[in-house]
Chains A and B, each alone.
Chain A
Amino acid sequence: MDTNLTRNFLVLAARFLSGTSIRWIDSQPDTCQRVYFANHTSHLDSIVLWSALPPAVRLLTRPVAAQDYWTAGPVRRYLSSKVFHAILIDRKEVKVHRSPVQMMIREIGDRYSILVFPEGSRSDGSEIREFKSGLYYLCKKRPDLELIPVHIDNMNRILPRGEVLPVPLLSCITFGPPIWLEAGETKTEFLQRARNAVRRLKEA
């Protein structure tokens, strides 16, 4: 099947199903290398957030996703490898020389942006969980990357944890102003600041 066609069809389906309205607050779409980091409440998050990007940016943006989920079955395998060009992370066995952060850095090179969910797994949507440290180590290695906080609203009601069939409510994706790792900032401080940046967009 034509990948481009599949991609466009998926984008349209995702946009319709999630009724997403997209807001950029103090922020602009750009093809420069970025890390989009968002709260995570639904399996739909990756695809809907990826679909919310303008086409030129979308082609350069690769979701970081769980290997066990996205290699189960031929459909998910096709989608993750051919359509989204996802960077798949092995959650089960984290090896020293193949750490997720090193893998991301290698995969993005000097061209791609990535889309990550630093909470690690899906929350129930009421409160954003503490961020995992991967985001910090990534910035340590690549301080030039722009970090764009993203808040995904209402997706947990469209497809909550443990459900297979979606309910077509409306959702909202908010992109916020970029942040960077400050000189001398500790891991805890930085992760807290990043989490607050996402949380602030909820009220914006």
Chain B
Amino acid sequence: MVLDARTLGLLGGVLVLLAAAAGAVRFLKSRADSGLDVAVLDTLSHRVRAWFLLFLVLAAAFLLGPNATVAMFGLLAFWALREFITLTPTRPGDHRTLFWVFFLITPLQFVLVALDWYELYSILIPVFAFLLLPARIALAGDYKRFLERTAKIEAGLLICVYCLSFAPAMLMLPLPGGDPHAGTRLLLFFVLIAQLGDALQYAWAQLPSKHVIVPTINPHKTWEGLLGGAGTATLLGAALWWATPFGGHWWWMAGLMALVTTLMGFAGSLTMSAIKRDRGVKDYGTLVEGHGGVLDRIDSLCFAAPIFFLLTKFWLEW
């Protein structure tokens, strides 16, 4: 699919900015006397690399069309779910249930999204899967910590698969104006704001005065970070109104959506931090040395996607 000038501009702009950021980080790293914390620089260069990869893959998927984009998000969900279940203790009795979770429910969810079958994909996991999975686990005959095991598998499926599938579903929304690329731009806007929200919160949290929100769960999330990050993301979102379907006198809606996305992203990272804290790990990707996991990078996307999608849908039906 050939992209139009606005979509290319947005995508190209992001890639150029990321390339500049990568260059800046590299420059700072090469200067030992920059006075910056080495750990912060390392985190930064890892994140920039992860974003670069994310947006490059996203760009390739956009060029290949909506089905490729859905498939790409499907793979992302598959990988995130692997990380989630790996760090969640299950018992041998859950093995076959997990097989269905990975090889039937996860692909099916994304196939339904690609078919734009909203009535079914919006309930496949929270209704059908959530009723069938406990029954399948019970069939295996192991009742030890039954409710806990079921809840863990269902939470993983909900966060990693169900929620994330609403991101590519944005491509199928009947957006006004008859522009075939409006959906692509909306998804790009969403991913960009969610990731920017993370980055801006991190940046604002580097300020000297620190009021940690929940010290027992994540010592890096401060009120300064949240308010500063959400405020900046809202302004940036409003400034990007031209890339969204919220045009004309609705331009402020782009800012509002950015605000909601950032707040939901915050909720997502905080929730995942709590799970990680409980499991005694720092990152979902500790199994892959030196890299944060996929889930660490997309937890904000997972929480924000369904809300962003539904708000846009309500706005369209207004």
Contacts and interface: CB of A to CB of B under 8 A. Distances in A.
A170 B88 CA distance: 11
A157 interface: yes
Given A154-B86, A163-B95, A168 B287 contact: no
Given A154-B86, A169-B86, A170-B83, A21 B288 contact: yes
B204 to A, nearest CB: 33
B96 A165 contact: yes
A21 B95 contact: no
B76 interface: no
A160 B92 contact: yes
A21 B289 contact: yes
A167 interface: yes
B287 A172 contact: yes
Given A19-B82, A154-B86, A157-B90, A170 B95 contact: no
Interface string B76-117: 001000110110001010011011001000000000000000
A130 to B, nearest CB: 22
Contacts of A157: 86, 90, 95
A37 B176 CA distance: 64
A171 B82 CA distance: 10
Contacts of A124: 92
A163 B90 CA distance: 15
A77 to B, nearest CB: 27
Q: Is the interface of A mostly helix, strand, loop or mixed?
A: loop
Interface residues of B, number: 15
Interface string B179-215: 0000000000000000000000000000000000000
A21 B99 contact: no
B85 A169 contact: yes
Contacts of B90: 157
Given A157-B90, A160-B92, A163-B95, A169 B82 contact: yes
Nearest to B284: A170
A30 B96 CA distance: 39
A23 interface: yes
A131 to B, nearest CB: 24
Contacts of B288: 21, 170
B75 to A, nearest CB: 11
Given A21-B289, A23-B289, A157-B90, A168 B95 contact: no
Interface in A80-102: none
Contacts of A166: 99
Nearest to A19: B82
Contact of B99 (A165, A170, A172): A165
B289 A168 contact: no
Interface string A138-171: 0000000000000000100100100101111111
B102 A167 contact: yes
B102 A168 contact: yes
Contacts of B99: 165-167
20 contacts: A19-B86, A19-B287, A21-B287, A23-B289, A124-B92, A154-B86, A160-B92, A160-B95, A165-B96, A167-B85, A167-B95, A167-B98, A168-B82, A168-B102, A169-B82, A169-B85, A170-B82, A170-B83, A170-B287, A172-B287
Given A19-B287, A23-B289, A169-B85, 7 more contacts: A21-B289, A124-B92, A163-B95, A167-B99, A169-B82, A169-B86, A170-B82
List 4 A-B pairs, minimum CB-CB distance, nearest first.
Answer: A170-B86, A167-B98, A169-B86, A21-B288
Interface of B: 78, 82-83, 85-86, 90, 92, 95-96, 98-99, 102, 287-289
